[in-house]
Homo-oligomer: A and B are copies of this chain.
Amino acid sequence: MDLTALARANPDHWSKATAIRALTLDAVAAANSGHSGMPMGMADVATVLFEKHLKFDAANPLWPDRDRFILSAGHGSMLIYSLLHLTGYEQFPIEELKNFRQMGARTAGHPENFLADAIETTTGPLGQGIANSVGFAMAEEMLRAQYGAKVVDHHTYVIAGDGCLMEGVSQEAITLAGRHKLSKLIVMWDNNNITIDGPVTLSDNTDQVARFKAAQWHVIEIDGHNPDEIDAALTEAKATDLPTMIACKTHIALGHAAQDTSKGHGALTDADQMAEAKKAYGWTTGPFEVPADVKSAWEEIGKRGADTRRDWEERFDKMPRAKRETFNRALALDAPKKMSATVKAFKKQITESAPKMATRAASEKALEVLNPILPETVGGSADLTGSNNTKTSDLGVFDVDNRGGRYVYWGIREHGMAAAMNGMALHGGIRPYGGTFMCFTDYARPSMRLAALMQIPTAFVMTHDSIGLGEDGPTHQPVEHLAISRATPNTYVFRPADAVETAEAWEIAFTSKTTPSVLSLTRQGLPTVRLEHKNNNLTEKGAYVLADAEGKRQVILIATGSEVHVALAARDLLQAEGIGTRVVSMPCMELFAAQDEAYRKRVLPGGAVRVGVEAGMRQGWDQWLFGERGKYGKADFVGMDRFGASAPAEELFERFGFTAENVAQKAKALL
């Protein structure tokens, strides 16, 4: 590349873009790790975007109607950190850039939404950002339909690399966006033909332009170093009624000795080569120094949106008070006042009628009463609507001609659904929940983990939660998936025993602000086990005494979900033999672990043998079976230690020992 010509053609642009490149080189060198090439390659695109198109106000990073900027190629984090510093975000003084990738810095190796207001989502695992962006853009459409274009009217801009586009989830994302004509979604593809292993062509020869067109996108191809072309493309993108992909032909590590090579992808820390690159840029200041005029030009850009924001605030204040309150409440993730009473009434009605019902059906019933009082909920399913019981009567279906619809037919895209739900939650104003079979936790895992890491309350409705699904067989029968979700930090895993616990789980999921929920629900019918009405949400305690021992307590049976009624039946057998038996229902291990020691000991006191019962792997159970550190009793576990099988559910439960007789027998063997 002839850098001199580039600089001469657009000197103001060039100096601004160069500031990004220089800061990137400096920060990566200081950290002695990181990824230099991508920010250097995409600096021109990002500069034009921030200077001329992105609606933002650096002084108000959380302004609700800002455009969203998503760096899907998260390894290029110095691009966003540079931009946030240069435009004057308070959370990004130059010290943050000097501490790139150091303990406690906001400038983590990959952008982390929970470290800074202006970072919309956590990226790095490739494809996540572009898949999140679909949820961002859907949320914008939904909220615009709900509150009007005067208060909700913004774009979602994404920078994605070849890695993002090679990941399968990108296909799920772009086909969703194309299907729903998410015209305010604009993806800028960093088309640099380089991956870590070498040129893209080493592993891929996809015609990306044709691929996006096949997914019903508008596509524009430009030189990613030509500011006029970038500007024109962004203008055109905003004018179309389709989502737009701008293929930006760029040079990774522009101007560096490693330009256009896979070496350029990584940390470019060689001092001489850095000096040469800066010289070629015409950049003469020291490390982390930005010439005052360049910094001030960038800061002007950071203030560019201030008036627009003020105008927005005026318009917002003119909205009817009730609407404003709902808007703010949803944004703050506060529960509506009616929530508690609604759940209590629902529970009371269940306790009184004591239906036999699958917890997936109970979940639908709970959602039927909750969705009407929570206009921020958005439901959906990955093509299992009738099986996941996620659609309630009042939601309406989100579509091109019905943006106010609150139900999404996600198609057979578990991963894309999970990532887009995360995007909705991150956008704000929406509480997403979506369903698939629990076994397909596997497909959604990358985004489920990120929900936990990002501290957002996405709710994953995982039905058909054990061998109890029967004939579909081991490909569809989760056995390790409770353990998988429980092993993940900051995740509530609910396995409710009946409709009462299911409603309690939903109450927690829909009041959670920083923790995602997994609702593990049965296909098969279960009896109601909570036959005494309690106003309190007992699931909130994680575990509680469902039926206490009569006489001397010799056995404690601990069970979850569909095995709770088995434990109750086992208790009947044991009590009939004069063996005092307590049954503890444990719908959420994480919440039980969070209780104080006194409560935990009250529920699980010493002096009795313990048997855990759950149609899943034992992993994670031993802490409850063997008590707190240093105080142990005799214990056993009735669970799965292998994959299931294809057969009717009742036969499988019998075959794998989930019977009252077997549980009672295991308990007696310990006495």
B109 x A471 contact (CB < 8 A): yes
Per-residue contact bits, chain A 623-659, to B (CB 8 Å; 1 contact, 0 not) = 1001001101011100001110111100110010000
Indicate if A322 sits at the interface (CB-CB under 8 A): no
A466 to B: closest C-beta gap in Å? 14
B413 x A168 contact (CB < 8 A): yes
Question: CA–CA, A416 to B206, complex, Å?
Answer: 15
Question: CA–CA, A109 to B652, complex, Å?
Answer: 14
A413 x B205 contact (CB < 8 A): no
A642 x B489 contact (CB < 8 A): yes
A196 x B385 contact (CB < 8 A): yes
For window 433-490 of chain A, which residues contact chain B by CB distance below 8 Å? 439-440, 442-443, 445-446, 449-450, 452-453, 470-476, 479-480, 483-484, 486-490
A432 to B: closest C-beta gap in Å? 16
Question: CA–CA, A648 to B386, complex, Å?
Answer: 49
Indicate if A662 sits at the interface (CB-CB under 8 A): no
A453 x B475 contact (CB < 8 A): yes
Question: CA–CA, A104 to B647, complex, Å?
Answer: 8
Query: Which single member of B124, B168, B645 contacts A103 (CB below 8 Å)?
Result: B645
Question: CA–CA, A101 to B477, complex, Å?
Answer: 14
A166 x B413 contact (CB < 8 A): yes
A125 x B475 contact (CB < 8 A): yes
Indicate if A102 sits at the interface (CB-CB under 8 A): yes
Measured between beta carbons, the chain B residues less than 8 angstroms from A484 are 480, 483-484, 487
Measured between beta carbons, the chain B residues less than 8 angstroms from A411 are 166, 195, 197, 200, 202-204
Indicate if A335 sits at the interface (CB-CB under 8 A): no
Indicate if A74 sits at the interface (CB-CB under 8 A): yes
Per-residue contact bits, chain A 109-130, to B (CB 8 Å; 1 contact, 0 not) = 1101000000000111110000
Indicate if A258 sits at the interface (CB-CB under 8 A): no
Integer count of this chain's copies in the complex: 2
For window 474-522 of chain A, which residues contact chain B by CB distance below 8 Å? 474-476, 479-480, 483-484, 486-490
- Chain B residue at minimum C-beta to C-beta distance from A207: B214
A472 x B124 contact (CB < 8 A): yes
A453 x B643 contact (CB < 8 A): yes
Per-residue contact bits, chain A 514-555, to B (CB 8 Å; 1 contact, 0 not) = 000000000000000000000000000000000000000000
Measured between beta carbons, the chain B residues less than 8 angstroms from A623 are 618, 622
Known contacts A112-B474, A385-B196, A489-B641; A101/B647 CB under 8 A: yes
Question: CA–CA, A653 to B669, complex, Å?
Answer: 44
Question: CA–CA, A642 to B590, complex, Å?
Answer: 13
Measured between beta carbons, the chain B residues less than 8 angstroms from A362 are none
A13 to B: closest C-beta gap in Å? 31
- Chain B residue at minimum C-beta to C-beta distance from A100: B471
- Chain B residue at minimum C-beta to C-beta distance from A655: B103
Known contacts A102-B647, A487-B483, A489-B643; A409/B202 CB under 8 A: yes
Measured between beta carbons, the chain B residues less than 8 angstroms from A74 are 475
Measured between beta carbons, the chain B residues less than 8 angstroms from A210 are 210, 213-214
Indicate if A619 sits at the interface (CB-CB under 8 A): yes
Indicate if A178 sits at the interface (CB-CB under 8 A): yes
For window 324-344 of chain A, which residues contact chain B by CB distance below 8 Å? none
Indicate if A410 sits at the interface (CB-CB under 8 A): yes
Measured between beta carbons, the chain B residues less than 8 angstroms from A202 are 409, 411
Measured between beta carbons, the chain B residues less than 8 angstroms from A206 are 175, 178-179, 214-216
Indicate if A163 sits at the interface (CB-CB under 8 A): yes
Query: Which single member of B110, B383, B410, B483 contacts A472 (CB below 8 Å)?
Result: B110
Indicate if A41 sits at the interface (CB-CB under 8 A): no
Indicate if A72 sits at the interface (CB-CB under 8 A): no
Question: CA–CA, A415 to B171, complex, Å?
Answer: 13
A447 to B: closest C-beta gap in Å? 9
Indicate if A257 sits at the interface (CB-CB under 8 A): no
In the A-B complex, the 4 residue pairs with the smallest Cβ-Cβ separation, listed nearest first, are: A168-B168, A203-B411, A622-B622, A632-B632
Q: List 28 A-B contacts (CB under 8 A).
A: A101-B647, A101-B648, A104-B647, A108-B473, A109-B476, A110-B472, A110-B646, A122-B475, A124-B475, A126-B412, A166-B175, A166-B413, A168-B172, A175-B204, A176-B203, A196-B384, A196-B387, A197-B381, A207-B216, A211-B211, A214-B214, A440-B446, A442-B446, A442-B449, A480-B488, A480-B489, A487-B487, A632-B632
Given contacts A105-B646, A207-B213, 9 further A-B contacts (CB under 8 A): A102-B648, A103-B648, A109-B471, A110-B472, A202-B409, A207-B214, A442-B445, A442-B449, A480-B488
